[in-house]
């Protein structure tokens, strides 16, 4: 079961606690542990005992161990229930925590001096909330809180030390408690790209101004354009059922775009779309500010809009205001009220908390279940797994699975640093992230088994657009094996085949060689030398930040074709694309690797591999295969 996947942890140390002998004190066990603070953070002093913490206790969800089964039931082509997606009420009811969980945790709080009038239950029933002092929290959780400081910007943050503990009878009813081990990594480290800082993001790689822009297919190895992509993936489709079909791109403030750049781009590559704009869906104060970072959003929107064409609306989920920003959980809150952190689910140390009363902040309640999830949602951002705690990631990953149950395709970029984390950071044996370390550092959410992880390819320099692509060589496409999540059933066969036929020669102590963990990416797409308009000029941009929204755009056409025929959206695609009926329908990539951490990384081979997944989109073949499904 994926939600109980801590058994496959590669880097989380085993931890034991000797209980006090007093019969009045129940045996306490470590609930969450952290081997090292995230990259750049160091403890500088103990936290003040009187400081108030908004303690949020995430209750264990009912039936969560069966999420993979439920998801496969509506997502595997061999299932009689394929495409029969659940509605939001069904999902909420199925996973609502049991009354026993609520009663047990409330009783523990009361016995610990946190009386009932100080606690409240969230609207979804999933969270218990209470305000406590640092002194109370330390006694309650058997831990110590420190003020940590970030070396890059001197930002301070309060978090507990290496572990917190719960009574054994309580622990089984709790997923996680915040704020504890979790850090505001998002603001100090941008998301998946080579941005100016390491961190919350896979920033795209932006090159120098292009002096001469080509509009023909003869230079696709130097400059990728809309026509290059259409040719590469045999993509020739006009959207029809656009009122039912929906497709969204997620951006996180301060990432933004300049609308006039869309017209510069369309004026050169798709003149009929001049004046076209995405539909802005503001989440927690998300705004378009042309003074922000333009690379990611410009890349995503110019190619998403250009590929789907003028008939199909593209939604822009702009998350977070200009003061606090936002996180994946803020986006999930807006899509699903049962997850809503306004009622207690957000980690105030990890996620943007609203209302934001700072000058210029979003001073209204956060968006809570107010946004209908699009059929396909593409996100080009991510973390390193080592930035977060396992329970935090598992909780979020399960939410992606719930969206899959409702027919939503969630796609994430796999990262741009090969087997290393963002910025080339790898792991030391003690779990510390460092440049020059040797242990592979996988990304999240790409390693979540309930998302589709997208790697990157390119046209080899000097090759025509008709030649087979290779794995991205201008940067290293992220991929490998998760240290957190168990391998899902849908990919066991191909992953075991890769490990059997092409066993990596690296020592088992620098990568998760067990064969029992989630492997990624699932698929890939071209991600090198996209011609993008920024501030009125064209520049080359690359990264899995490019390949992910591009691939999502093409898959949106398959949704359109199915909806025209009265069928459901493709939903969570992983069980389908790994299935026998889809074998050989992707363009297999057989050349390349993804170096990092002082190694050559993993090799690209025939069939699935941990660099390019199953390969790139072959639109006509995949369209026919999906239309053949009910």
User: Known binding site: residues?
Assistant: 588-589, 607, 609
Is the N-terminal amide bond of 179 cis, ω within 30° of 0? yes
- Nearest 10 degrees: CA dihedral of 612, 618, 624, 627? 50
The residue behind tokens 């036929």 is 501
Residue 87: count of CB within 10 angstroms of its CB: 10
**Number of Cα atoms under 13 Å in the Cβ half of residue 110:** 9
* Alpha-carbon span 127 to 60, nearest angstrom: 9
* Alpha-carbon span 326 to 201, nearest angstrom: 12
* Contact indicator for 303, 546 with CB cutoff of 8 Å: yes
Residues with Cβ within 8 Å of 508's Cβ and at least 6 positions away in sequence, in order, are none
* Alpha-carbon span 574 to 214, nearest angstrom: 36
Give the bridge partners for 509, in sequence order: none
* Contact indicator for 493, 607 with CB cutoff of 8 Å: no
* Alpha-carbon span 590 to 477, nearest angstrom: 14
Cα torsion angle, 267, 468, 192, 206, sign? negative
* Contact indicator for 574, 75 with CB cutoff of 8 Å: yes
Residue 211: count of CB within 10 angstroms of its CB: 7
* Alpha-carbon span 304 to 257, nearest angstrom: 13
Give the bridge partners for 143, in sequence order: none
* Contact indicator for 433, 475 with CB cutoff of 8 Å: no
* Alpha-carbon span 409 to 406, nearest angstrom: 9
**Torsion-angle region of residue 569: left (phi > 0), alpha (psi -120 to 50) or beta?**
beta
H-type alpha helices, 341-470: 390-405
Name the residues annotated as catalytic.
296, 300, 545
For residue 173, CA distances in Å to 116, 275, 339 come to 18, 53, 17
Residues with Cβ within 8 Å of 22's Cβ and at least 6 positions away in sequence, in order, are none
Closest residue by Cα to residue 3 from 411, 401, 382:
401
* Alpha-carbon span 462 to 221, nearest angstrom: 6
User: Which amino acids are annotated as binding site for Ca(2+), given as ranges?
Assistant: 588-589, 607, 609
* Alpha-carbon span 624 to 630, nearest angstrom: 12
Q: Residue 403: what are its φ and ψ, rounded to 5°?
A: -65, -40
* Contact indicator for 314, 278 with CB cutoff of 8 Å: yes
Under DSSP, is residue 146 helix (H, G, I), strand (E, B) or coil? strand
* Alpha-carbon span 357 to 282, nearest angstrom: 18
Q: Are strands 247-252 and 376-379 parallel, antiparallel or unpaired?
A: parallel
* Alpha-carbon span 455 to 526, nearest angstrom: 9
The residue behind tokens 């591009």 is 550
* Alpha-carbon span 99 to 57, nearest angstrom: 15
* Alpha-carbon span 361 to 511, nearest angstrom: 42
* Contact indicator for 320, 283 with CB cutoff of 8 Å: yes
């Amino acid at each position: 079961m994926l939600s109980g996947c801590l058994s496959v942890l590669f880097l989380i140390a085993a931890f034991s606690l000797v209980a006090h002998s007093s019969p009045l004190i129940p045996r306490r066990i470590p609930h969450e542990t952290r081997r090292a603070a995230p990259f750049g953070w160091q403890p500088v002093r103990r936290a003040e005992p009187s400081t108030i913490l908004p303690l949020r206790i995430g209750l264990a969800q009912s039936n969560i161990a069966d999420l993979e089964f439920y998801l496969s039931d509506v997502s595997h082509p061999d299932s009689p229930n394929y495409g029969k997606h659940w509605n939001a009420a069904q999902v909420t009811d199925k996973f609502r925590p049991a009354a026993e969980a609520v009663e047990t945790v409330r009783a523990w709080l009361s016995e610990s001096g946190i009386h009932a009038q100080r606690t409240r239950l969230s609207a979804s029933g999933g969270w218990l909330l209470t305000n406590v002092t640092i002194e109370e929290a330390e006694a309650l959780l058997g831990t110590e809180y420190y003020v940590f400081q970030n070396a890059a910007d001197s930002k301070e943050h309060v978090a507990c030390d290496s572990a917190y503990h719960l009574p054994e009878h309580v622990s089984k009813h709790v997923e996680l408690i915040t704020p504890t081990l979790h850090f505001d990594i998002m603001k100090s480290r941008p998301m998946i790209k080579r941005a100016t800082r390491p961190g919350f993001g896979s920033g795209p790689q932006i090159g120098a101004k292009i002096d001469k822009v080509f509009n023909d297919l003869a230079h696709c190895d130097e400059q990728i354009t809309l026509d290059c992509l259409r040719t590469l993936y045999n993509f020739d489709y006009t959207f029809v059922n656009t009122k039912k079909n929906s497709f969204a791109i997620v951006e996180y403030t301060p990432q933004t775009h300049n609308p006039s750049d869309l017209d510069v781009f369309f004026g050169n590559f798709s003149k009929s779309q001049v004046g076209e704009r995405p539909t802005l869906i503001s989440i927690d104060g998300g705004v378009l500010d042309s003074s922000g970072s333009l690379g990611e959003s410009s890349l995503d929107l110019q190619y998403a809009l250009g590929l789907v064409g003028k008939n199909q609306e593209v939604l822009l989920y702009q998350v977070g205001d200009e003061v606090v920003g936002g996180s994946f959980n803020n986006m999930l809150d807006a899509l699903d009220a049962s997850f809503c952190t306004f009622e207690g689910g957000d980690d105030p140390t990890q996620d943007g908390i609203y209302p934001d009363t700072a000058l210029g902040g979003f001073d209204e309640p956060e968006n809570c279940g107010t946004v209908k999830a699009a059929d396909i949602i593409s996100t080009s951002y991510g973390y390193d797994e080592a930035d977060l705690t396992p329970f935090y990631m598992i909780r979020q990953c399960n939410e992606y699975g719930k969206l899959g149950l409702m027919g939503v395709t969630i796609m994430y970029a796999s990262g741009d640093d090969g087997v290393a984390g963002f910025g080339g950071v790898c792991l030391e044996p003690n779990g510390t992230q460092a440049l020059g370390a040797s242990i592979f550092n996988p990304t999240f959410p790409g390693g979540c088994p309930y998302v589709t992880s997208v790697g990157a390819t390119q046209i080899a320099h000097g090759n025509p657009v008709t030649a087979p692509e290779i794995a991205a060589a201008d940067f290293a496409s992220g991929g490998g094996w998760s240290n957190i999540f168990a391998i899902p059933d849908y990919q066991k066969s191909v992953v075991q085949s890769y490990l059997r036929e092409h066993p990596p020669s690296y020592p088992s102590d620098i990568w998760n060689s067990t064969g029992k963990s989630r492997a990624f990416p699932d698929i890939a797409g071209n991600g090198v030398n996209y011609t993008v308009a920024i501030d009125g000029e064209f520049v080359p941009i690359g990264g899995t930040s490019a390949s992910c929204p591009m691939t999502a755009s093409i898959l949106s056409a398959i949704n359109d074709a199915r909806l025209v025929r009265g069928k459901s959206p493709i939903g969570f695609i992983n069980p389908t694309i790994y299935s026998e009926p889809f074998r050989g329908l992707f363009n297999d990539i057989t050349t390349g690797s993804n170096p990092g951490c002082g190694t050559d990384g993993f090799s690209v081979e025939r069939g699935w591999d941990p660099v390019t997944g199953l390969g790139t989109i072959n639109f006509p073949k995949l369209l026919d295969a999906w239309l053949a499904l009910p």
